[in-house]
A and B are shown apart, each in its own frame.
Chain A
């Protein structure tokens, strides 16, 4: 099975900061990667698919990059609404896996 490792597990940042979250795959997944945002008590929300494509309706301050085994999610200009937990997910194989999550906290 393909393992996904996110870093950091927790990130403390201020409003207006640029933040970057990294996700590494245990083997190449090409660009078969999605990023989700989850707030407490809510279902996840799709932000990015195919590693760098922005889901419709998602603000342009969110961006994704990478291919193969290393990927990043960047939030340019953190807003109060962005404090949440973020997950990467691979769909290269039919057995999908999520990263363990990165919680973005207010500094």
Chain B
């Protein structure tokens, strides 16, 4: 069974850091584009970042997280990461990792991990 499992969420103070992880199983992880999507409480989906080459060399970010968040992957560990620095209250959300099939959308999603930024 193809599965993505996120971890690493929690409560952090404004200005703090957090590293999210996403472990993949049941799929050949290295060949796929991967992405992070978040959803603030009561709000819609927001794309956060994606990594579109197997070696992790090409990455894109939504403007609001550029310079603060870093997406990365470890193909040997079948894992995706999101390093989040200088966190703000507006980063509070459920963070999902997802697999993106080129030309076809995000077909496999994790269950989400909750990040709360508050003092």
A: residues with CB less than 8 A from B are 1, 32, 34, 36, 38, 43-46, 49-50, 53, 55, 85, 87, 89, 91, 94-101
Given contacts A36-B106, A46-B105, A89-B45, 9 further A-B contacts (CB under 8 A): A1-B63, A36-B45, A36-B105, A43-B96, A44-B109, A89-B106, A91-B103, A94-B58, A96-B47
Bound Cα distance from A32 to B103, whole angstroms: 7
Specify which of B37, B45, B50, B111 is in contact with A94 (CB 8 Å cutoff). Answer: B50
Could you tell me how many residues of chain B have their Cβ less than 8 Å away from some Cβ of chain A?
A: 26
Q: Are A43 and B110 in contact (CB under 8 A)?
A: yes
Q: Which residues of A contact B46 (CB under 8 A)?
A: 98
Please count the residue pairs between chain A and chain B whose beta carbons lie under 8 angstroms apart in the complex: 65
Contacts of B111 in A (CB 8 A): 43
Q: Does B62 reach chain A (CB closer than 8 Å)?
A: yes
Question: Are the CB atoms of B52 and A95 closer together than 8 Å?
Answer: no
Main secondary structure of the interface of B (DSSP, over half): strand
- Tell me which residues from 66 to 83 in chain B have a Cβ below 8 Å from any Cβ of chain A: none
Residues of B within 8 A of A85 (CB): 44
Cβ–Cβ contact A89 & B105, under 8 A: yes
> Closest residue of chain B to A85, judged by CB?
B44
B50 in contact with A96 (CB, 8 Å)? yes
A104 to chain B, nearest CB (A): 14
Once bound together, how far apart are the Cα atoms of A91 and B60, in whole Å?
Answer: 12
Chain A residue contacts of B37, Cβ below 8 A: 44, 98
Give 11 pairs: A residue, B residue, CB < 8 Å, sorted on A: A34-B104, A34-B106, A36-B105, A44-B45, A46-B105, A91-B100, A95-B62, A96-B47, A96-B50, A99-B44, A101-B44
